[in-house]
Structure 1
Amino acid sequence: MAGFWGRRKREQEAAQQAQDDDLARRARAALVAADERIRTTSDELDFAVAELGETATKDLREGLVAVRTHLAEAFHLHQLNHDEIPDTAEELRTRNARIVQLCEWAEDVLDERTEALRERIATVRQAPQILERVRADVERLRERLPQARATVERLSHRYSTEAMHRVSANPEEAAQLLDFAIHSADVSARRREARRPEEANVALETATEAVRRAATILDGVEDFEIEALRAQSTLADVIADSREDIVAARPLTQSGAPHSAEVTAAVAQLEAALAALPGPGTPSDPFADLASLREANAALDAAVEKARERAARPLPSIEHVQHAVDAADRALSVAASVISGHRGWIGADARTRLAEAQRLRIDIDPLVAPEDTREEAMTLARRVAQLANEALQSAQRDIDSGRPDGDDWGDWGGWGGRRGPMPMGGRGGGGGLLGPVVGGVLLGGLLGDIFD
C-alpha cells in the first residue's frame, strides 16, 4: 500500500514538473516574440509618422512606451529565475506566469493600436486616387445644380413659403460646398507635396465630407418633391377618413350622451381643420396640413373613446391604420432628410426625437393586421408622426439659428480674401455652412491657406 501511494506521488510530481517546464518554455518564447514585436512596431511607427504626422500616431507612440516599461519588468523577472539565489518551484511558476501575462498584454496593445492606424495609412497611400474621385464627384454633382434650382423654382409655385423653407436654399448651399471641396482638395495636394502629411490628411477628409454633404443636400430637393406628392395623396385619404369620423361621431354629440360636450368640441375642431385647408390651386404646405388634420383627428378619436364603451367601439380598419402609418412614414422621411443634410447645425433635441420616432416605427408593422393590436398600431403611428414633426420643427429652428442672414451666397467663403479663423456657425458669409464641414478639425496654419 505504501508503494502505491509513493508511486502516485511521484507521478503527480512528474506531471507538475512537466507543466512547470512547459510554462517556462512559453515564458521564454513570449519574451522573444514581444521584444521582436516592439522592434518591428517601432519601425512601423517611423513610417506612420512620415505618412500621418505626429498627432495621428500619438496613441501608438504612447502604447510603445507603456509596452517597453512592462516588458522591462518581464525581463527582470526572467533574470530572477536564473540568478544565483535558489528559487522554489512556486516562485518560478509565479514569475513565469507573470512573464506570459505581460507579454500577451504587450502584444494586445500593439495589435490594437497598429490596427487603428491601418485604415488611415491605406487612405493616405490612396490619396491621389481619392483626390481624383473627389474632383470627379464634384463635377458630377455640379451637373445636378441647374436641375435642382429649376425644381426649387417650379415647386415654389405649388407649395407655400413655409413648406419650401426646408429646401429653398439647398442648391446654393450645395454649390458652396462643392467649391469648398475643390479648394480643400487643392490644399491637400499642396500640403502633401510640401511634406506636411498631417495637414494634407485633414484637408483631404474635409474635401470628402464637403462632397458627401453636398450630395445629401441635393438629394433632399428631389426627396422633398416626392414626399410632398405622397403627403398630398395621404392628405386626401385622411380628409375622407376625417369626414367619415365626423359622421360617425354625430350621434355622440346629442344632449345626454356621455361626454357629449367633449365629442362636440372635438368635432368642431376637426371641422375647423378641414375648413382651414387651402383650396385647389392655392400654394400649400402638405406636411403641415397633414400634421394639423391628424392632430384634430386624434383629438376626436380620444373624445369618442371616452364616450363609448370599449367593447362597443368598432376597431379601426386596416386602411385607416395604414393611412396613419403612411403619414408617419412621410413625416419620418422628411425629418430624416432635413437632419441628414444639415447635421452640423442640428442639436440634441431634434436628433433625440428622430431617433425615438425611428425606434417606435420598427414596432408598428406586425401590429397592423391583427384585430387585437390594430389600435396599438394606430397609436404608435400617431406617436411616430408627432415625434417626427417635433424633430423637424426643432431641426428647422437649429438651422435657422445657424444659417447666415440674407442671400449672400455668392462667395463660398464669404471672406473676401481675409485671412484668419473661420467662425464655426457664425453669421458672417459662409461660416455657418462651412463650420459643420470643417468640424473644428483644421489646423490654424491650414485655415490660412484655405481662405487665402
Structure 2
Amino acid sequence: MTINAEVPVAATRTGAGADRSGQGADAGQDATAGQQVTAGQAADGSSAADLVLPLVAVGGAAVLAGNGYVRRTRRARTRTTPAVVSPGVPPVVSPRPPVTPLPVLERQAGAALVQADDCIRTSRAELSFAETRFGPAAVEPFHRALREAERELAAAFAIHLRYGQGVPEGRDEEAARRQALAGIVGRCAEAGRRLDAAAPAFDQLRALEEEMGEALEVAEGRFRELTGRTGAVEATLADLHARYPASATATVTGYVEQAKDRLVFATTHLNQARQAADLGRTEQAVRDLRAAEGAVGQADTLLTGVDQLANSLAQAADLVPAALTGAEAERARAQTATGTADGVSRSLLGDADAALAAVREELTGDRPYDPLAALRSIVRAVSALGGGQDGVLGAAAWLVGRADVRAADGFVATHRGAVGAGARTLLAEAERLLGTDPAAAGEPALAARELAEQDVRVHGNPYSGGAGHTSGAVLGGVLLGEDPDGGPPLAFGGPDTRKGGGPGAEPVRTD
C-alpha cells in the first residue's frame, strides 16, 4: 500500500512478481518514479521506515488476541464444572473425579451382600421370639417386610452369580460390569431399607424396655427346652456314628459341642439380663436379652441340623432300593434311544453303569454305607441320562437336594461371622433350584458348604483353639465382634438399625 495524507490506493507491484508487460520500460521512467516517491515523502513529513513499526505492533497484538481467544474457547469446551469468574482472576477448572477401580467395586458389592444376608437372618431369628409371645397375626406385617427384603436379596444374589460367570465380551464390558455391581449394591440397600422401615414398629411391639419380664420368660423357656433336648440329640448322633460311616455324619461334626457352647453363652446373658432388669439398668438388660436370644436361636439350628440329618439318612436308606430299580429302568430306556436324535452317548451310558453298579455293591455288601451319598450317585447318573423328574426318582432328587441345601444353610447360619459372599451366593442359587429343579440343587449346595468351610478355616475356628464362648458367638454372628467383649448384639432391622445400635435408634454415619 502507498501511504499519504489521502485515502490509500493499491500500489504497483515490482520485482519478480510484477506485470511482465512493464519489463520494456526505460531507465528514465524508473528515475522519474523514484523522484515522485521522494517528493511525496518530503511533502508528508515522514518516511516509510517510520510507518513500518506501528503496523508490526498492530499485527502482533492481533495475533496475541487471536491465540488467547482460541485458548479460552478450548477451555470452555473441555470444562466439566462451572467456572468461577472473578474480575481480574482467570477461571479455575476442576479436575475430573477419579474412577473407582473394578476390584474395589467388587469388594463393596460382596460386603453389601454379606451385610444384607446377615440382617435378614438376624431379623428372622428375633421375629421368631416375637411370634412366640404375640402370635402370628401380630407379627404378620414384619413377616411381610422380611419377605420383601428376601426377594430383593435373592435378586442381588442372582446378579452376583451371573457376574461371577462373566459378562458378554465387547467394548462395553467394563461398563456392563460396573452396572451389574451397582445393581447388586442397590438391591441390597433396598432390602436393608425395608427392614429398617419396619424396625421402629417392631421395637414398639416388643417393648422390651417396659415388658422385659415377659420377654425373658419366653427366652428362658426356649433355653430350658433346648437344654433338655441336647442329651437326646447327642444320643442320636452317637447312633448315627454307629450305623453309618464317618462320611455320612461329616456335615454335623461338632454341632452338639457348638450347641452347648451357645447355651452356656445364653445362660450367662440371661442371668445378666435378669440382674440388670432388677437393678433398673434397662439398656443393659435389653442388650443381654438379645445376645441370649441369638445364642438360643443358633443352638436350636445346630441341634435341628443333627435331627434333620438323621431323618434324611433314614429316608434315603428306605428309598435307595426303589431308586436303584428306577434308575436301571431309566438306563435301559436311554440305551434303547442311543443312535437316535434323542439318544445319549455311549460314554454317558458307561458312566451311569459304573455309578449304579457301585451303589448296588454298597447295598448288597456287609459294610455300612452312606444312604444319602448312594442316593446322590443315583440322581446324578439318571440326570446325566436326561431323566428322573417324576416318581421315585423325582422323590430321590428332592430328598438329596433338600438335605444338601439344609446342610449348607445350617453351616452358613451358625458361622456367618466368617462366611463371605461367594458361599452365600451359591447357597442362594441352590435354594432357588430346589424349587424348580431339585436334581440340580445339590451341586451348588455342596459347593457353598465347601467354600463356607474354607472361609471359616481362613478366619480361624474358635472351638479348636479353646477360645471363650464369646468367640463362638462372634463367629456365629450373634455379636458384631467390634469390641473386646464381642460388641453389641444384633436386632431386627437393616444396616441403619445396626449402625444405630438397635431399632429406632439414630443411624451412625460411617462415611
Report TM bin, short chain: 0.5 to 0.7
SS at match of 2:262: helix
Cα 1:159/1:394, change in 2 over 3 Å: farther
CA contact (8 A) 1:227 1:330 kept: yes
Cα 1:446/1:188, change in 2 over 3 Å: farther
Amino acid at match of 1:385: G
1:435 has 2:492 as partner: no
Query: How far apart are the structure 2 equivalents of 1:160 and 1:238?
Result: 21
Query: Of 265, 285, 305, which aligns to 2:347?
Result: 265
1:331 has 2:416 as partner: no
Residues 307-360 of structure 1: CA deviation (Å, up to 9, x unaligned):
xxxxxxxx9765544443444344334444444454444433333233333334
1:276 has 2:355 as partner: no
Query: How far apart are the structure 1 equivalents of 2:274 and 2:207?
Result: 17
Unaligned runs of 5+ residues in structure 1 are 1-111, 303-314, 365-379, 416-428
Query: What is the match of residue 173 of structure 1?
Result: 258
Amino acid at match of 1:283: P
Cα 1:208/1:220, change in 2 over 3 Å: same
Query: How far apart are the structure 2 equivalents of 1:316 and 1:212?
Result: 36
Aligned positions of 1:136-285 closer than 5 A: 136-192=221-277, 196-251=281-336, 257=339, 263-277=345-359, 278-279=362-363, 280-285=365-370
Query: What is the match of residue 432 of structure 2?
Result: 359
Amino acid at match of 1:349: G
CA contact (8 A) 1:163 1:285 kept: yes
Query: What is the match of residue 385 of structure 1?
Result: 442
Residues 204-257 of structure 1: CA deviation (Å, up to 9, x unaligned):
11011111111121111111100112223343333222222333344566xxx4
Cα 1:168/1:117, change in 2 over 3 Å: closer
1:350 has 2:350 as partner: no
Amino acid at match of 1:391: A
Query: What is the match of residue 374 of structure 1?
Result: none
Residues 179-216 of structure 1: CA deviation (Å, up to 9, x unaligned):
11011122333444555443332221101111111112
Query: How far apart are the structure 2 equivalents of 1:393 and 1:288?
Result: 16
1:129 has 2:214 as partner: yes
Residues 152-194 of structure 1: CA deviation (Å, up to 9, x unaligned):
1110122222221222311111111111101112233344455
Cα 1:130/1:117, change in 2 over 3 Å: closer
CA contact (8 A) 1:181 1:208 kept: yes
CA RMSD of aligned residues (A): 3.8
CA contact (8 A) 1:159 1:284 kept: yes
Q: Percent identity?
A: 24
Query: How far apart are the structure 2 equivalents of 1:396 and 1:158?
Result: 26
Cα 1:183/1:290, change in 2 over 3 Å: same
Cα 1:183/1:215, change in 2 over 3 Å: same
Amino acid at match of 1:158: R
Query: How far apart are the structure 2 equivalents of 1:271 and 1:405?
Result: 45
User: What is the Cα deviation at residue 269 of structure 1?
Assistant: 1.1
Query: How far apart are the structure 2 equivalents of 1:123 and 1:386?
Result: 43
SS at match of 1:440: coil
Query: How far apart are the structure 2 equivalents of 1:187 and 1:222?
Result: 31
Query: What is the match of residue 420 of structure 1?
Result: none
Query: What is the match of residue 103 of structure 1?
Result: none
CA contact (8 A) 1:354 1:391 kept: yes
Query: How far apart are the structure 2 equivalents of 1:159 and 1:344?
Result: 31
Query: How far apart are the structure 1 equivalents of 2:477 and 2:457?
Result: 17
SS at match of 2:252: coil
Aligned residues: 289
Query: What is the match of residue 64 of structure 1?
Result: none
Query: How far apart are the structure 2 equivalents of 1:436 and 1:356?
Result: 22
CA contact (8 A) 2:212 2:277 kept: no
CA contact (8 A) 1:231 1:330 kept: no
SS at match of 1:173: helix
TM-score (norm 1): 0.54
CA contact (8 A) 2:415 2:475 kept: no
Query: How far apart are the structure 2 equivalents of 1:199 and 1:244?
Result: 65
Amino acid at match of 1:184: H
CA contact (8 A) 1:206 1:437 kept: no
Which has more radius of gyration?
2
CA contact (8 A) 1:351 1:391 kept: yes
CA contact (8 A) 2:426 2:445 kept: yes
Cα 1:237/1:209, change in 2 over 3 Å: same
User: What is the Cα deviation at residue 291 of structure 1?
Assistant: 2.6
Query: How far apart are the structure 2 equivalents of 1:325 and 1:116?
Result: 39
Query: What is the match of residue 312 of structure 1?
Result: none
